Each structure stands twice: as C-alpha cells, then as structure tokens.
Amino acid sequence: MNRYLGNNAQIRGAEHYTLHGGKGEGMDFLYVRNGLGLEVWISLDRAGDIARLSYKGANMGYFGPCGHVGSKYYDDKGIGFLKSMSGGFLVTCGLTNVGAPCTDDGEELPQHGTLSNLPALLLAAEDNEDCLRVTLEINDSMLFGKKLMMKREYIFSYTENKFTVTDTVTNNGDTESPYMILYHCNMGYPLLSETSKVVIPNYSFVPRDEEAAKYPDDALIMEKPQDNFAERCYFYDVKENGGKSTVGIFNEGVGGMVMKYNKCDLPCFTEWKMMSKCDYVLGIEPGNVTPLGRDKMREQGILRTLSPDESKSTAVEFSFTDTETEFDNKF
C-alpha cells in the first residue's frame, strides 16, 4: 500500500463515465490511467475500442469529424459506417467482414463489419499491484445466423507505459463461420505530422491500387494536411523476430508508439495513409486479412473460419516512449 495516497484513484485506476450531448448522449466509457502518463478512454458502447488515448498530455490517436456517435445511429448500408466512424486510437473491424462492403456467399456485408458498433459487457475491472485487468464480452450473434462471442481483455501496466489487448473469438453456432479481425489503429496529430518517423520493417509491400502505386517511395513519409488528398493503402509483409512483428511511429517533442503482435495470428498488415485536411490520419493495421472485403479474401484463398465450438485468440501490445533512442531500441 502506498501511504502517500488516500485512494489509488488519486493517480491510477479505472473510472466509469457516461457522456452527455449530441449523438454521443448516453455513451459509456471506462477511463483508465496508469499513473505514469498513459490515459485511455475505452468505449463500452463500441466493442470496448479505444476512443481516445493520450501519453503525458499529448494526443496519440485520430478523432473523426463526426465526434462521438452512439451505436443507435449506426448505418449498415454500404459505406454508412463512415457516418459514425469516430476514429479513435483503436477500431476493431470484423468479425465476418473487414474492409469494403460486398456480397459474399449470398450475404450483404457492410463496410468493416458490425463489431465496432456492438456494445461491450463489462465483466470485470481488477486492480492489482502491478496492473489493471479489464475484461469485456462482445456478443456478435443473431437468430438463424452467426453466433460469435468475443472476450476482450486489456492489461494496463502500472510499472511501464504499455498495455496489451487480447481477443478470443468463439463460434457458439453449429455451422462454420467466417472469422475476420483487423486492428484499425489510427494515429493522429500531434503524434502524426510532417515530422513523424514511421517504421514498418518489411520484406516487401504492395500498393492497393493505381493511386498508391504512384508514390511507393513516399509510403512512409508523412506530409502536411493537403486539399483533395486521395487515400493510399499499402499491404506489407512485415518482418518478425521470434514470431513477433514490431512497427511504430515517433515524433520529436511528442513521443512514440510501438506496436508488437504475433505474425502467425495476424499475418496481414495494412498502412492507410490519409493526408487530407481534417481527415488527417495514419492507419497502422495488423489483421488476419486485408481490408478488401470478404469476397476478395475468399477469392484469394486467405479467408479464415471458425468451426463450431472453436476459439482463436489474437493479441497486440502497445508501448509508449519519450525519446527517439528509446523508440529505436524497441526494434
């Protein structure tokens, strides 16, 4: 016990808040601090994704023009997803579609699936001596259809500026189900600017389309916000060390973020570069598929599935640094 404190919440822990105003009216958030400078807003209405994240007072993620939008405003038609895409540090895409809206196996699928617009049930927030463990459950099921359950666990360190999110998806149905997951991590100003250093160690990368193919040498170079910038996506074969892949972004005077994940579980990696005014964001996105839509994943033979009663887990670790030397030493 720290005798300097009247209550641990003086410096760290989790607090439950309800938002008021606009389209975010009534949304629930779990506000987490680790006492070392990391502050995280977990959106319980949006799959337990991370709406905002700051490190020692500096914003790390991108927050979209629509602001906070409750799931009751979700539009699942075509690209209606964008009307409630608040951005945020982490948006989880899936579980039966990632990427473009499409029709696959006779099923119409919305952009990036429905997971990020489903509420999370808060099962526990356990405060230990060296970490905070948050356990959530997201039910992505329907009558006469898919029956997927995702258990999400966050572990926030109290001794280092890092946390891990682990997701275990179980097929509770009696038929095989597509299983698609992508961690759409959105970096924003001031972490993201024209002075940012982006590191994605890779064996090779492929532009998504003709627009991205025009600028292969600029893939990891960030520019100032521009008028009429057309988004560019690149698909990377990221290097690994002992099965772990490491990518990150650093900006002098702001700090850095480093992501680690198991490439066996998340073999695909997408960079989404969007340098438009107001829509100024860098997506760094490990997944078990690329964001081209389920129909394309099936055509390419990389669509993953879950058999009845089968479970699969994925995990991503995020750590934060103050100096470029600390950042570089993580690679």
> In sequence order, what are the beta bridge partners of 275?
280
Burial of 278 (0-12, 13-18, 19+ CB in 10 A): exposed
Rounded distance between C-alpha atoms, residue 248 and residue 231, angstroms: 20
Cα distance between residue 249 and residue 55, in whole Å: 13
Contact 284, 185 (CB under 8 A): yes
Handedness of CA 29, 251, 284, 228 (dihedral sign): positive
- Separation of alpha carbons 103 and 126, rounded Å: 42
User: CA–CA separation, 325 vs 321, rounded Å?
Assistant: 9
What residues pair up with 314 in beta bridges, in sequence order?
A: 167
* Cβ–Cβ < 8 Å for 133, 141: no
What pLDDT score was predicted for residue 128? 93
- Digit-by-digit pLDDT tens for the chain (331 residues) are 788 888 889 999 999 999 999 999 999 999 999 999 999 999 999 999 999 999 999 999 999 999 999 988 888 887 778 888 888 999 999 999 999 999 999 999 999 999 999 999 999 999 999 999 999 999 999 999 899 999 999 999 999 999 999 999 999 999 999 999 999 999 999 999 999 999 999 999 999 999 999 999 999 999 999 999 999 999 999 999 988 999 999 999 999 999 999 999 999 999 999 999 999 999 999 999 999 999 999 999 999 999 999 999 999 999 999 999 999 999 9
- Domains of the chain, earliest start first: 14-328 (2.70.98.10)
Say what the pLDDT of residue 280 is.
97
Which long-range CB contacts under 8 A does 147-150 form with residues at least 24 apart? 147/171, 147/172, 147/173, 147/177, 148/95, 148/96, 148/172, 148/173, 148/177, 148/179, 148/306, 150/47, 150/95, 150/115
Query: Which residues lie closer than 8 Å to 142 by C-beta, 6 or more apart?
Result: none
Instruction: Report CA dihedral (121, 126, 131, 135) to the nearest 10 degrees.
Output: -20
Between CA 33 and CA 11 the distance in angstroms is 7
Q: What is the pLDDT of residue 77?
A: 82
8 A C-beta contact, residue 99 and residue 180:
no
Which tokens is 215 given? 């600028």
pLDDT at site 86:
84
Whole-number pLDDT of residue 184: 98
